[in-house]
A = this chain, B = another copy of it.
Amino acid sequence: MQIAILLFDNITILDAVGPYEVLSRIPDATVTWVSSSPGPKKAKGGLTLLADRRLGEVPAPQIVLIPGGSGVDGVMREPAVLEWIRNAHRTSLFTAAVCTGSLVLGAAGLLKGLKATTHWNHRDRLAAFGVDVAAARVVREGKIVTAAGVSAGIDMALCLVRWTAGDRVAQAIQLGIEYDPDPPFDSGSPEKAPPEVLEMARKTRR
């Protein structure tokens, strides 16, 4: 199974690496990082990564994954990327997005009239694409799957493993990455965070 993850400048890299760590552990899966232009890409925070292939070299992956980050503003204005997504979506098993990656699916015209999710601080932007925005962690509409902000990609990827390789493989991968979360606070959603924390986080809209 070939999995393609879109890489671009100003990507929020955990959006991509959470699912990567999960999906690359599926037996017989290969993850390929694709980009629209050659050369190193800088994630938010400064980490430098290299894509494996240009978009055109990976026309028909089984899973397409679009991460988010402030770089999606540029990605949404690249017709070649949107065209690649639309084409790949025709034959994919799943077309997925994490965080503001769903805005790119929206810009590609794939989400119109569908239910989808995104980072809590960007729901209005997703709604502007004619999307029925859900305040959910993972939303599946047929073969389109979207996840909430950043870390939600890990939960989404485990669902993708479940749907493609079965429950046992998904559970073994969860155990392999020891995903038994225990955050020191319970402030991971706008509904749970204290008001002053919500205010702080809102200001850093990325």
Contacts and interface: CB of A to CB of B under 8 A. Distances in A.
A190 B175 contact: yes
Top 6 nearest A-B pairs (CB, nearest first) are: A149-B178, A180-B188, A24-B45, A181-B181, A14-B21, A150-B177
Interface in A152-206: 152, 154-155, 158-159, 162, 167-172, 174-185, 187-190, 192-194, 196-198, 200-201, 204, 206
Contact of A174 (B17, B187, B204): B187
A31 interface: yes
Interface stretch (A47-55, A71-79, A80-88, A125-133): A47-55
Contacts of A46: 24, 30-32, 52
Given A174-B187, A178-B188, A168 B200 contact: yes
Nearest to A48: B50
B194 A171 contact: yes
Given A46-B52, A149-B177, A167-B185, 9 more contacts: A13-B20, A14-B20, A17-B17, A137-B180, A158-B184, A159-B184, A178-B189, A179-B181, A181-B181
A38 interface: no
Interface of A: 12-14, 17-18, 20-21, 24-25, 30-33, 40, 44-50, 52, 99, 119-120, 137-138, 148-152, 154-155, 158-159, 162, 167-172, 174-185, 187-190, 192-194, 196-198, 200-201, 204, 206
A123 to B, nearest CB: 12
A24 B154 CA distance: 19
B172 A197 contact: yes
A196 to B, nearest CB: 7
A167 B187 CA distance: 11
A33 B33 CA distance: 20
Contacts of A198: 175
A152 to B, nearest CB: 6
B197 A171 contact: yes
